[in-house]
Structure 1
Amino acid sequence: MRAAWSPPACTGAVAIVMAGVPVALSLGVPAGTFLGAALGWRTTFSVMTVLAVVLIAWITATVPDFPGQRQGGRIPVPRTLAVPGVAPVLLVTLVFVLAHTVLYTYIAAFLGGVGMGGSVDLVLLAFGVASLASILFTGAHIDRRLRALTIAGTVLVAAAATLLAVAAGTPSLVYAAAVLWGLGWGGAPTLLQTAAADAGGEAADTAQAMLVTLWNAAMAGGGVAGGLLLGLLGPAALPWSVLTLLAPVLAVVLAARTHGFPTRRPDASG
């Protein structure tokens, strides 16, 4: 029987960093698109460079150092994978991010295929606002409802993909799908990062490192897979691919009710 464990103090900070992923993608992309159209891509990249330098300086000046893990203290990857709950969380992360990225990367091509090519920025804005709402709601309820929120997020993204697959010719339904997509996806990074920390226990550091690696691999793989689908079957195939990928995601989350996505978090009180 595993000893009781509470996530390290830095978990909350990591969750905030992970929450920045949907914020950056959902607000940064439409903002960059707008600036690129208004000022040109050279000016836009110059602005991005200046902001990046300012951000690096701010981090250097204000973010405190945390002591590292003692030498030999990090649990190896094979042992971490053997910890109950870690493998399901990592599998859900890989496939969920892959599903999202397949569609998100080529959303402009998809919207162009349904006659909404001029509305990419507005659709992404709707997605972004909904993502921010999802992040706030997730932060307020994750301690007691991690499992329910993960299930709800998966179902909402699947509902959005369904709308895009069968009713993309109706602009109002496309915007509705963008809102559902944002509500389902916005809190996902925080939920998955927290689930990995909870499941990992003493191996939380290794589990989170593996999660970030798989996250980036899924983003790269989503771009490749989406490009292949786009070339072979056209943009209409993209939302159907999301539905296909989300089916095993939901199945794994539902099955991992004891470890991985339990009804109660290990550190929940009361």
Structure 2
Amino acid sequence: MTGFTAILTETLPAGLLPHMAAGLDVSESLAGQTVTVYAVGSLLAAIPLTLYTQGWRRKPTLLVAIVGFLIFNCVTAVSTSYALTLVARFMGGVAAGLGWGIIAGYARRMVVAPLRGKALAIAMVGTPLALSIGVPLGAMLGTTLGWRMAFGLMSITTLILIGWVLWQVPDFPGQPAEQRLSIARVFRTPGVRTVLVTLFAWITAHNILYTYIAPVAALSGVQGRLDLVLLGFGVAALVGIWVTGVLIDRALRPLVLVSLTVFAAVSLAFGLFAASPVATIAATILWGLSFGGAATQLQTALADAAGDGVDLANAMLTTTWNGAIAAGGMVGGVMLDHLGAGSLAWAVLAPTLLALVIATRARRHAFKPGPRAFD
């Protein structure tokens, strides 16, 4: 639920842009920067805060992050100042950076070693769900209740989450000083850099297409039912994460390679059959299926490689992921402006194939063949 809250808080404004722009008396492009500053907050905060809180008990640390969502969503809901809203969104991103830095390690510590992959899959199920419903939900709430009420409802949801954590979630100690690892040591751990580079290429490719799915969909004439197209993506993504949860402890490497291969085929389909509504819808569903488990697959591979440095490694993942979001948006924007929507699918191919080649070659430390080893 923490991951769901973080992602939904990040994506919600994208469906509220006209309403937020009117309410804050700014243009829609400026209202869109509320998403950007949130990502920047996560990117900048994840590693420093994870380092600083290594010794803290895990439950209070998680609660600090969730309370951050509560406070800054409340500020966003009542703010009439664009500048204050940007500050609140940035600080919300900081809270997300802290939360992402501990989720993976926390989930893995709740279960015995053979169940760690499944535990991580369950912990991450909120990510594709929030990614798939964030924008449509924002649009619906903005129209029916207003954008401020949308953020108010997020705050109420966060209060429920705080109660659940206090009641049900077990606590664990932080790392003793003598066991804490430096960021440099974790970064040099065999396999960590390989997973991070694979992640950056994969998520950059995904966001080149996902950020600009509306103009891509317009090529086939399905832009009028984009909400249903994205719903198909979201449902397929949930199937993908379910499959990942079932298979990840036995077949992590095949899952990664198949997911990347399917995504490469999807980008080809978008490129070759851009004018076909059937091809667009089918490709979007396959895309969701291949991407649904990506976060869990990459986090599991990174956690396996990092060992005791899992929290720091996950903070690096957060930073890399948000950097890839920014890179995908920037590359896609340049391609769209200069070469048109038809170029985006082809732009996706290069980073996708790069990720596939790296993952295929990484057999020793990052994406090992066979069942995963347990401590």
TM-score range, shorter chain: 0.7 to 0.9
Task: Select which of 360, 365, 370 maps to 1:259.
Answer: 365
Residue 9 (structure 1) shift: 2.3
Question: Which consecutive unaligned segments of at least 5 residues does structure 2 have?
Answer: 1-106, 111-115
Q: Which amino acid aligns with 1:190?
A: T
Residue 181 (structure 1) shift: 0.3
Residue deviations 1:45-75, cap 9 Å, x none? Answer: 4444433443344444443332111124222
Query: TM-score w.r.t. structure 1 length?
Result: 0.87
Q: 1:193 to 1:28 in 2, by over 3 A?
A: same
Cα distance between partner residues in 1 of 2:162 and 2:217: 35
- What residue is the counterpart of 1:89 in the other structure? 195
Counting aligned pairs with the same residue, the percent is 44
Cα distance between partner residues in 2 of 1:141 and 1:127: 21
Cα distance between partner residues in 1 of 2:321 and 2:328: 10
Cα distance between partner residues in 1 of 2:233 and 2:197: 25
Higher RCO structure, 1 or 2 (CA under 8 Å, sep 6+): 1
* Cα contact 1:130–1:186 (8 A) shared by 2: yes
- What residue is the counterpart of 2:31 in the other structure? none
Cα distance between partner residues in 2 of 1:170 and 1:39: 36
Residue deviations 1:115-145, cap 9 Å, x none? Answer: 2221110110110111011111110010010
Q: CA RMSD in A?
A: 2.4
Q: 1:215 to 1:15 in 2, by over 3 A?
A: farther
Does 2:223 correspond to 1:123? no
Q: 1:228 to 1:253 in 2, by over 3 A?
A: same
Does 2:136 correspond to 1:30? yes
Does 2:320 correspond to 1:214? yes
Cα distance between partner residues in 1 of 2:337 and 2:163: 42
* Cα contact 1:256–1:262 (8 A) shared by 2: yes
Residue 18 (structure 1) shift: 3.0
Question: Which consecutive unaligned segments of at least 5 residues does structure 1 have?
Answer: 1-6
- What residue is the counterpart of 2:272 in the other structure? 166
Cα distance between partner residues in 2 of 1:56 and 1:222: 33
- What residue is the counterpart of 2:104 in the other structure? none
Cα distance between partner residues in 2 of 1:189 and 1:143: 15
* Cα contact 2:267–2:349 (8 A) shared by 1: yes
Residue 14 (structure 1) shift: 4.4
Query: TM-score w.r.t. structure 2 length?
Result: 0.64
Richer in helix (by share): 2
Please state whether the residue corresponding to 1:229 is helix, strand or coil: helix
Higher deviation after alignment, 137-146 or 69-78: 69-78
**Structure 1 runs (4+) greater than 6 angstroms displaced:** none
Higher deviation after alignment, 55-64 or 155-164: 55-64
Residue 215 (structure 1) shift: 1.2
* Cα contact 1:199–1:260 (8 A) shared by 2: yes
Cα distance between partner residues in 2 of 1:166 and 1:27: 28
Please state whether the residue corresponding to 1:236 is helix, strand or coil: helix
Cα distance between partner residues in 2 of 1:113 and 1:140: 36
Q: 1:103 to 1:235 in 2, by over 3 A?
A: same
